Structure 1
Amino acid sequence: MMTIDLPDGTGAGPRVSCHQPPAPAFRRATLHDAAAIIDITTAAYAPWIPVIGREPGPMGDDVPALLADPDIEVWLAEDTGPAVGTGPAPVGLVILIPDTDHLLLHSIAVAPSAQGTGLGRQLLAFTEARAAELKLREVRLYTHVLMARNVEIYTRHGYVETGRRIDNGFSRVFMTKRIG
């Protein structure tokens, strides 16, 4: 927490408190996390169903199969803030697929309770740091053409559109960002 004294000429100005949520802890997901992954993914992507006319791709993922695949990394972001009687709670996730020359961001999802806190930005930064850690110089991703807000967010974070095409029955925008 940060407290700021605003000067009012007497040195006893009003106090303003700015609460910043604690930084999330990132950890590799396990099969025990499957239900939380499905819940977060469903809650994050469900608002897009009326926009694109069907469930977004990640809602149809076979989560236990993703978790069992040694070539796929599923990472959880956990809220480390104080919660009486509970441990850290998953509030976001990324599903990453390393390839020989890039890291594919297959899915990024933020629980509604954590939306608007900057967690999406932190998950994106984590993805880019993971690519650098794996010595991969590029992050690739895709999103639905009708998810224009997502395209704007990725563009703002340095991603460049590389093409549009139908992929697995979805009209997708493909984007990339060079790392390092």
Structure 2
Amino acid sequence: MDKGFDIRQAQAADETAVRECAQGAYERYVAAMGRKPAPMVADFAALIAAGVVHVAVGQDAEVLGFIVFYQEGEQVLLENVAVRPTAAGRGIGKHLIAFCEAEAKRSNATSVKLYTNEKMTENLSIYPHLGYRETERKTEDGFNRVFFEKFI
């Protein structure tokens, strides 16, 4: 257990907790974006069944955060990372991202790619601080996205 939580692969029984975590983490962006961000409407059951969701679990077995990532060719796509608002500020998101990067290295990926919405302004400074560089901005699926990549 690291800093009061452990990271493990999500199980079907985690779906509700993962969905609630996404809801809590992203609901503050709904007004600014004019609709729910993509992570709020994701098919978590299918993602969990595909084995691409990992959860950060507290000592009491509560899901504190989660990450969705998978390999695409030589890159790993970090599709989603979220932390419950009640668990924010404990480094859980950074540990989840580091876990993704370690798994990417283990699978011989060359880089980790991700995107965020331009309205999620704090992410625009967090990802460069973690070593990611902005590679592109474009509108995709009706969202104004900012793309990042980190070579590992």
Preserved CA contact (<8 Å) 1:98 1:104? yes
Instruction: Using CA pairs under 8 Å that are at least 6 residues apart, name the structure with larger relative contact order, 1 or 2.
Output: 2
- What is the 5 A alignment of 1:19-168? 22-69=3-50, 73-80=52-59, 87-168=60-141
RMSD of the alignment, in Å? Answer: 1.3
TM-score, length-scaled by structure 1: 0.80
SS in 1 for 2:138: strand
Q: What is the number of equivalent residue pairs in this alignment?
A: 151
SS in 1 for 2:96: helix
Preserved CA contact (<8 Å) 1:22 1:79? no
Residue identity in the other structure for 1:126: F
CA distance in structure 1 between the partners assigned to 2:20 and 2:142 by the alignment: 24
For structure 1, the 5+ residue unaligned runs are 1-20, 81-86
Q: CA deviation at 1:41?
A: 0.6
User: Corresponding residue for 1:3?
Assistant: none
Structure 1 runs (4+) greater than 4 angstroms displaced: none
CA distance in structure 2 between the partners assigned to 1:121 and 1:66 by the alignment: 21
Q: CA deviation at 1:51?
A: 2.1
For structure 2, the 5+ residue unaligned runs are none
Residue identity in the other structure for 1:79: G
CA distance in structure 1 between the partners assigned to 2:130 and 2:84 by the alignment: 21
Which has the larger helix fraction? 2
Residue identity in the other structure for 1:63: F
Q: Deviations over 1:139-179 (max 9, x none)?
A: 00000011121111001111111101111111100100001
Q: CA deviation at 1:131?
A: 0.8
TM-score, length-scaled by structure 2: 0.94
Q: Percent identity?
A: 35
Residue identity in the other structure for 1:129: A
